[in-house]
Structure 1
Amino acid sequence: MNDTITTERPRAGAAAAIQALSAGLLAVERLAIMGLMFLLSGLILLNVVTRYSGMPIYWIDESAVYSVVWLTFIGASAMTRLRLDFAVTMLTERLPEGQQRVAKVIATGLVVVFGIGLGVMCWLWMDPVGLAKAGFDAREFAGQTFNFLYTERTQTLNWPTWVLYLILPLFAVTMTVHGLANLVEDMGLAPRVPLRGFVLSDVDGVN
């Protein structure tokens, strides 16, 4: 009996820690989404005004594109925790209740696997270890590995492209954490917690 209680407490503590980490990330993502939406609206409005006035600003289009990219990935991460990601239930809705729960756990587990896999791919692609071995010299690193990620710059903003591509590993990490939080809830290791800052009706979630 004591061994069972001792085993369950660390599991519950770990599950609660994952949920707390996910909640913190979700709060940051909410602010980032609002900020990017405000920025995108401002860029579009500024673009319209400057074009009609005959003084277009050449870097606005590229800024708007990258704002949409970051907004998309951050929003997709938040949707994972909010369980607003798409789900095809043509098969699972015909299964018994117990098998439906198993199917949901498997689907949520695949989200975690995808996030981890994307993180590994980003690590191999960005190769921070190789960059450190090259003394953080982008040209030396490109010459050794033929990876020109750290030497490329955007066309109009002239920003390093690797800075903008950081959204990919960030997305991999946040989606993995949100997937783990959903997984511990689906497995019954922790009760579902209310997600602050988001008003959702019962019909909003599909997963």
Structure 2
Amino acid sequence: MLKRLSSGIARCEGVIAAVLAAVISLLILLNIATRALGQALYWTDELAIHAMIWMTFFTTSVVLKRREGVAVTLLADALPGGVRQGLHLLVDAMVLFFALLLAVLCWRWYDPATLWASGFDIQAFQGETFNFIYSETSRTLGIPKFWVWLCLPIFAVSLSLHAVVNLIDGIKGLAGAERRLA
């Protein structure tokens, strides 16, 4: 069940990343065209940057789910099979630790419990926490930045799921290898 959920989410993340890549290209072309015509649309730069940030996080999640990250495998390739699988388990555990740590930090940053307790009153929330995440706006688009930064908690949750699935698969693979050797 978790594996199917993780795979489905990864497929969605891949599609979203591809759409965002196309949007970025169109925004850059629009920016070039409007500047050439002397009627620059300054918001296109900022929107392209935000789209690129979101695309990067969605792509990173898919890459780590597939275990296709850039790596120097010289040491791992020289190790015997069981030790190599143990090393892969360690990497999966480190990815899970990072994802969970990021999720905790995002929870503390967004602080939804205190926001809820303050009745979604941004001024009361800021006065109580000195956290101004919900009042900062982007320069040219004027949208609240917390919408842009929302890619971090989404990434943390999806990466946590992918890492758990990879860790379970790695443990099953290691246990299967030990049974075959016995």
Q: Deviations over 1:55-87 (max 9, x none)?
A: 001211100110110010010001011211122
The answer to whether the aligner puts 1:19 opposite 2:3 as a matched pair is yes
| 2:39 aligns with one of 55, 71, 76 | 55
With the length of structure 1 as denominator, give the TM-score of the two structures. Answer: 0.81
Greater than 6 Å deviation, 4+ residue runs: none
**How many residues of Structure 1 are paired with residues of Structure 2 in the alignment?**
174
Aligned twin of 1:140? 124
Going by fraction, where is helix more abundant, 1 or 2? 2
The answer to whether the aligner puts 1:42 opposite 2:26 as a matched pair is yes
Aligned twin of 1:164? 148
The DSSP-based 3-state class of the residue aligned with 1:157 is: coil
| 1:177 aligns with one of 161, 177, 182 | 161
Q: Please show how residues 1-207 of structure 1 align to structure 2 within 5 Å.
A: 17-188=1-172
- Residue 21 of structure 1 aligns with an amino acid whose one-letter code is L
C-alpha displacement at 1:181, in angstroms?
Answer: 1.7
The DSSP-based 3-state class of the residue aligned with 2:74 is: coil
- Cα RMSD (Å): 1.4
C-alpha displacement at 1:88, in angstroms?
Answer: 3.0
Q: Deviations over 1:94-133 (max 9, x none)?
A: 2211111111111111111110110000001110001111
- Residue 80 of structure 1 aligns with an amino acid whose one-letter code is L
Q: Distance in 1 between matches of 2:139 and 2:129?
A: 23
- Residue 101 of structure 2 aligns with an amino acid whose one-letter code is G
C-alpha displacement at 1:189, in angstroms?
Answer: 6.1
Q: Distance in 1 between matches of 2:103 and 2:123?
A: 25
Q: Distance in 2 between matches of 1:117 and 1:87?
A: 22
* Fraction of identical pairs, as percent: 37
- Residue 117 of structure 1 aligns with an amino acid whose one-letter code is L
Task: Provide structure 1 residue ranges, at least 5 long, that are not aligned to the other structure.
Answer: 1-16, 191-207
With the length of structure 2 as denominator, give the TM-score of the two structures. Answer: 0.91
